[in-house]
Structures are given as structure tokens and as C-alpha cells.
Structure 1
Amino acid sequence: MFKKEMYKKIKSKEKYGFLIYSKASELPELWDEIAKENCFLKREFLGFLEDVNPCKQRYHINIKEEIILLDYGLKIDIFTFKKGFSLKFPINIVGIPLSVSSKGYSYMDDKGDILSDYIKKTMKAVILLNSDDKLKLTKGHTLSDFELSIRWSSFEDYLKSMRSHYRYRTTKALKKFEGVRVEAVSRNEFSKNLYRFYEEVYERSSSKLEKLSIDYFKKLPATILVFKDDDRELGFVQLKEAGNKLYFLFCGFDEDLNKEYDLYLNMIFHIIKYSIDHGFRLLSLGQTTEDIKSKAGAYEIDKYLYFSSKYKVINLLGNIFIKALSYKKQSQSYRVFKA
């Protein structure tokens, strides 16, 4: 545990019991303890993001109460989840400066009220993303997360466990992928063509946040699988391991070939196969494309966003616009497996 005497040696701004840092390298070791299993909130990963995706990150830690949070600046479209509307507004985000479903804060025990009060008192205008906690802030919905518990010894067992309708659908898709090779490439081999696939997926997305540079893919220690037919690249997926959990982070693919190969669906099935073959217990398939992931057997985890401002007028506007900021769930529940 972090020694009390070391507290006096820390030079940083302080507000309401929180120390504020601008560099992850300056954070005390206690930060990682409070982050717990959230690999995207660890100091090493945050330092990596400073390098590949700098966006005025700030790190807040309350040593006494054992609370941490990360916020960063971003100009967002407040109607991100509403088609036909657009209004970009500079705001702070409490979250990971990366399009993942993990939280940008953590605390020991039940300290949500202290976190809420700190945000209310200090932040001009902030959206807190991907929460699964009850906080005393204006609440809305954000994109749900989708996870799959891995309980099969092989991909064949996964198929056998499906109800007939879903097994037929899966088998039909897999036939379109016969002859496609899957190759693991090093991050240094991540090509401009693969990055172009990522850019195309990003531009098609209806829920854009930050766009990552090619350096992100070239520098992050992660698994990159490339799908090829002969020498033609069809697409790729990026996967990150964290103990017994596998995260599907990003992908890119040739939209013109999606129907011919059932490309995106087959990429999801291959990620599931990869997680089974490599002994993972839990697969995080992330947010978006809810229907496809649900029909592959993933279960939905509700996620919430919160809005707050220390200014009363902005707070009132936030209460009015929270519905515009919120995401309306589109997924349905499916009985994919026999039991």
C-alpha cells in the first residue's frame, strides 16, 4: 500500500482532496491498485495513450479515499446517437481516450458519492462514459457492452451447443469463408492498406468519438489477425489479452466484400474460435453491432453515461439534453444456445 510519508513528496495540484497530474509516469503505484482489473486504466497503458492519442489527459487521485479518474478534452457531436442531427461541442470526458467499453474511473469500496461530489464541484462540463455504477449525476444510456462466457473446449462444441436455427445460420456464413487464411502479423507489419480498412469502418460508424492514428496499431502490444484470400487482404481484427479475458478492440474490412464473404460476421466467429483455442474464460466483444453479437451468443451489459457541470445553467441544459445524448437500445434477446 502507498506509504503516507510519500504523500508529502508529491508535487501536484490539489482540489477537494484529489491530486491532479498531467503525466501517467508521475502517478503513484497506488493508482494501479485502485484500477484493479481494468487494464486500460493502468499507468503503463495510459502512458502509451499519451504517446499515440494525446488529448489533454488529466489524472485525478484521492489517496485517502482511494479513488481515481481520468478525464480528457474532446469536441464531440452531442447528437452522436441521433441520426440526422449534428452539433459539435468542446467538453471533457471521464473515460478512456480510446473507443473501449471500460470505465475511466475506479474506487475502492463504496465511494461513488465522493466521486460524484468531486465532479460536480470541479468540472465545467463533463460526460462520464461507460458506467455501471449508480452515481449522483444526471443519467442517460450509452452503448451496451457485449460479452461471451467461454465454456466450450472447441469451436465445434460451440456450434453444437447452438439451437438449430443459429447453428444453420453460422454454418452458412462459415462456408463463405472457406479458403480464407488467417495470419497473425506483428504490429510493425500493420500496413497502410489495413489502416485504410480501419478508417472506412470509422467513417461508417454512427457513434464516432476519437479517430486513432496508424501509430496506435503499430505500437500497441496486441494481437493482430489478418484475413486473406490468396494474397488479397480482406480485413483485420485487433485483440488484447488481460489475464483470462480477451478484448476485441478494433477491426477493419473491405465493405465491398462484406456480403460476398459474410466478412464481419465471420471475423466475429473467428474471434470466438481464437478465444476458445487459447483458453480464455471471457470474451469482450465491445460495443456497436449489437444484433450480430447477440446472435453469436453474447449477452448484453447495460452501460450508462452521466452529465455534470459546476455551473447551474449548463447543468440545467444538460438535464434537458440528456435524452439527446443518450443511446436508444436496439438489440433484442435471443435464445442462441440449447441450455
Structure 2
Amino acid sequence: MRSFVSISELKAWVLSSEPDDMNRSLRALLEKNADIMELLQVLEETNLCGQEYFVVNDAIIVTYRMRLNLLTFMKRSLRADARIIGLPISMSRSGIFASDEASGRKAALEVIKREKGLTVALNTDYRLRGNSLTLSNFVFINRFRDFDEYLMAMRSSYRRNVLGVIEEGNGLVFRRIESSDFSTLHHMLYRSVVERSEYPLETLPIEFFRSYDSEIVEVRRTDGSLIAVLVLRGYGDTLTFMFCGFRREEGASLYHNLLIYVIRKGIEDGYKRIDMGQTSEAAKLRLGCTEEIKHLLVYHGNPVVNSVIRRASGRFSYRRYKVLHRVFRT
């Protein structure tokens, strides 16, 4: 096992090592996930939080440190300093990069056992140990040529709801801006959503939005007043809805218009998948998204403490949304 404090150090070591089977696998991982590695480099510069990257055989494990509320899903507070296996940004991607599930699980567990204190693996695509869940992710699988075809494929009640939301949003002006033009007003709107989130993690500084090569869309009324901001990024065949910002008093109609804008854009730009992120399960499922289960592991290096955590593991687990929505006619 090797550890690195920056992605550039990790890349340099991989590229300078002898090209055996393990090294070739690591190079393939870096190439396949080049966009995420770029994101991690920007986060090192703008959101420094004890990032450390582990190479275990032919897998890469991304970690960072933060103070975490272990009882988030119970709406209670029990905060503890933890090493997180995951991306240091509120995205649903796992911090485990491996060629297959077996090697990813083995590498993650080696890193977890190495830590003496509390370690939390977030958003893993498969179970490491136990059955605890974190927030599900919601993905729109695009099989439509255009937005009208999407609407016509919906059952009538869901289509009426979407058209009603669009009607309520008449007059909203969506306009793309440069990352360098991300202002304190845009950042205030983003922070407004973070601060009222039921499941808060980190709050990114304004420098991240100004530095990262993303698609930023501001939303204004016809009178020119700024009411919302969207941050999107394409990763290969997937459009990712990274962040949004708006004030609570703007209401659910505005948020639903933001979701519909993202789906419309993803369809029109030809993406195969639109990653709509976690939270707001009902709103996203009613638009035709599918649920991706995400797993959670809480582990402590002290055997006594870890035994207590195992017995209480259900308290850390997310309760899934249980309503079935049959959005499409076929």
C-alpha cells in the first residue's frame, strides 16, 4: 500500500513505475477517470481537507477528513472526526476506483483497517460489510431523441404535472455564464441550499466554482433579478447535476423547473445518462429517474468501539423512499 497527498504525486509515481500488469491497470484507471482526477486536483487547491490517496495493488482509494454527524438519517446529532472514503464534494460518486468489485472491496477494507480512528465509506456501489445504506442516487436513462418525445412517452398524469410546472416557470430566463463570473450572489444562493439541507456535508468556497471547468447557468426573472444558479458538468456520456442554489421562499415550483431544465438539456445534448444526484427522491422519480442504491460502512479501529458501532449500524442507515412511480407508458 502506498499513500499520496496529491493527485499529481500519485500520477507521477504511476507513470514512473515499471509497466507491469498492476501498473497498466492503474494507468487505465487514471485514464478512464481523468475527469474525476481533474476535479480532485481543483479540490486540493480550493477545498483542502486532509485529502489522501491510497494505491492498494491495482486500486485507488480516495479519502479526506471531516467532522461528520453519524446520526444524520435519524435527524439527531452525534458528531465525530472521521476519515471519509469518498470524494471531498457532495457528489454521489464513490471514492473507490478499481477494475472490478472484488479488488475494490479488498482495497477499501485494507485502507479502513489501517486507520486507528473512525472511518466512514460513503456512496459505495456495493456492500463492503453489513447492510447500511446512504442516500440513494437518481439517474435519468435517456432513450429519447428530443424533449417532446420524452413528454409523449409519459403517462398522462405525470405529463400534466411536468407541463404545469413549465407553465408556472414561464418568464424564467436561463443563461450560461463563465466560471470566472460566478459571483458572491451566486455563492449565497448555493449556500442557502446547503444550509437548509437535511444531510449536509461540506460547503465549497467560491474559489471552487470560479476555478472548476463546469457549466454554470444562472436563472433570472424577466425583470433581471437573479433567483437561482445551476452547476452542471459532462463526464463522458453522463451529464451530472452537481449543485443548485435558490432561496427557500422561491418555493418548490422553481426547484422543479430547475430539474426539468437539466433533463431537457441532457436529452437535447444527447447524453445517455443524466445524473440527478441524491435527495428529493419523489420529485426526481416522478420525472422518470431510476434509483441507484448506495452503501455505507462505519468502522472504528478500536475493537470495543467498533463492536458498539456494528450493533447500532441500523441507526446510521438511510431509509429508502418506498412509493413506486410508473412514469412511462411502456
Distance 1:101 1:172 in 2: 30
Deviations 1:239-269 (A, max 9, x none): 011111100000001321225xx10001100
* Pair 1:281-2:272 in alignment: yes
Q: Any idea what the Cα deviations from partners look like across 1:22-81, whole Å, max 9, x if unmatched? A: 121111245452256545642x2211110111100111002xx30110111110111111
Corresponding residue for 1:33? 28
Residue 225 of structure 1 aligns with an amino acid whose one-letter code is V
User: CA separation of 1:218/1:327 partners in 2, compared to 1, >3 Å: closer, same or farther?
Assistant: same
Deviations 1:248-304 (A, max 9, x none): 000001321225xx1000110010111111111110001000110000100001110
The alignment status of 1:105 with 2:64, answered yes or no, reads no
Q: Quote the residue 1:47 is aligned against.
A: 41
Match of 1:313 in 2: 304
> Is 1:245 aligned to 2:243, yes or no?
no
Tell me the SS of whatever aligns to 1:81.
helix
2:131 aligned with 1:114: no
Unmatched runs of 5 consecutive residues or more in structure 2:
16-22
Look up the match of 1:148.
140
What is the SS of the residue equivalent to 1:99?
coil
User: What is the RMSD computed on CA atoms of the aligned residues?
Assistant: 1.7
Cα gap change, 1:171/1:120 in structure 2, threshold over 3 Å: closer, same or farther?
Answer: closer
Instruction: Give the helix-richer structure, 1 or 2.
Output: 2
Residues 289 and 127 of structure 1, relative CA distance in 2, 3 Å threshold = same
Report % sequence identity: 29
For structure 1, which runs of at least 5 residues remain unmatched after alignment? 1-17
Moved over 6 A (4+): none
Number of aligned positions between the proteins: 315
With structure 1 as the length reference, what TM-score do the two structures score? 0.88
User: Counterpart in 2 of 1:172?
Assistant: 164
Is 1:22 the counterpart of 2:13? The answer is no
Shift of 1:217: 1.0
**Normalised by the size of structure 2, how large is the TM-score?**
0.91
Q: Which amino acid aligns with 1:251?
A: C
For 1:60, the aligned partner's letter is F
Compute the displacement of 1:314 (Å): 2.1
Distance, in Å, in 1 between the alignment partners of 2:236 and 2:317 is: 32
Corresponding letter in the other structure for 2:7:
A
- How many Å separate the matches in 2 of 1:292 and 1:132? 23
C-alpha contact (below 8 Å) 2:127/2:296 kept by paired residues? no
**Greater Cα shift, 25-34 or 230-239:** 25-34
State the secondary structure of the residue aligned to 2:217: strand
Name the counterpart of 1:183: 175
Match of 2:54 in 1: 60
